[in-house]
Amino acid sequence: MVDAVSAGKHVYVEKPIANTIEECQIMVKAQERYGKVVQVGQWQRSGSQYDQAIQYVKSGQLGQIRLVKCWAYQGWMKPVPVLPDGTPPAGVDYDMWLGPAPKRPFNANRFHFNFRWFWDYAGGLMTDWGVHEIDIALYAMGVSAPKSVMASGGKFAYPDDASETPDTLQTVYEYEGFNMLWEHATGIDGGNYGTTEGIAFIGNNATLVVNRGGWKVIPETETVDGARRNKVEEVAHIKPEGNALDHHATNFVESVMANDPSKLKCAIQTGSVAAINAQMGNIAYKTGKKVYWDATKNQFTDSEANQLMRAHYHNGWQVPKV
């Protein structure tokens, strides 16, 4: 992305935008220096249901929101079988594919798609699905960085398969006035509120649940004059309008044509917030500690956690300078 914007190109970059917090910060600096249009593929930002849900959350009707739950339960994910090393497919420049990642023999498990489950290239479901859901949660709540993070999990479902990242994880983020819980599990579809993925804003008056299938509001009840009643009006399930990914791509093209990054639904600054928070979850998991974020210094208070923020490049690659 840095090379592209420095060459005068506009960019549509996949999520999560990077594999370290340092790289996320560099990408934001590069866009700000060169002023190009950089859209992040967190396409839920272009979904009508998420826009409607965010507006409802911001309306205050849920009352004091004390907890936001984000989750991804992926029943379709089966064990990654252990495979021997082999040779890259014809036409693949494997050295370029590895880029700055550590030099390793080619293994089909680490190639297309399954690269997500290896620390050299990605952060597992915490960053893969996490950025989608955390993005909506933080935007609706108007926050960008937690006060503290702790995480617990492991390879509980498939302890002997080839993957490295945890197949089961709970991460607790502390923000001012509320907590956010991220959780994921592979091989299970029975997620919260009967959905495989989503975000739930849990308030004193009601809970709003939103996911790719739509959104709804589940009211709390109270007793008034001896009768039970809802604290707010129930909102029955509302389905999304159109295709959010198509809308997101259109938004990128229109922003490029206008040469105006402010028109983007998910600019690199926005995408970096979700990616950094997701990376924080993995850092808490790797350290096994409750880690605290110092917003004034833009780093953790723990030296081990700060080391895990950094990008370590190999094979002659250099971390970009902006």
What pLDDT score was predicted for residue 251?
A: 98
Check: CATH 3.30.360.10 for 2-307? yes
What pLDDT score was predicted for residue 271?
A: 95
Tens of pLDDT, residue by residue, the chain (322 residues): 999 999 999 999 999 999 999 999 999 999 999 999 999 999 999 999 999 999 999 999 999 999 999 999 999 999 999 999 999 999 999 999 999 999 999 999 999 999 999 999 999 999 999 999 999 999 999 999 999 999 999 999 999 999 999 999 999 999 999 999 999 999 999 999 999 999 999 999 999 999 999 999 999 999 998 999 999 999 999 999 999 999 999 999 999 999 999 999 999 999 999 999 999 999 999 999 999 999 999 999 999 999 999 999 999 999 999 9
What pLDDT score was predicted for residue 36?
A: 98
What pLDDT score was predicted for residue 280?
A: 98
Helix axes 268-287, 130-141, angle to 10 degrees: 110
Element spanning 215, H or E: strand 214-219
Helices (H), ranges, 173-317: 244-258, 268-287, 303-307
Residue 274 phi/psi, 5-degree rounding, is: -65, -45
pTM for this predicted structure: 0.96
What pLDDT score was predicted for residue 321?
A: 93
**Concatenated DSSP letters for 121-161?**
T--HHHHHTHHHHHHHHHHHHT----SEEEEEEES-S-TTS
The SS3 call for residue 6 is: helix
Domain ranges of the chain: 2-307
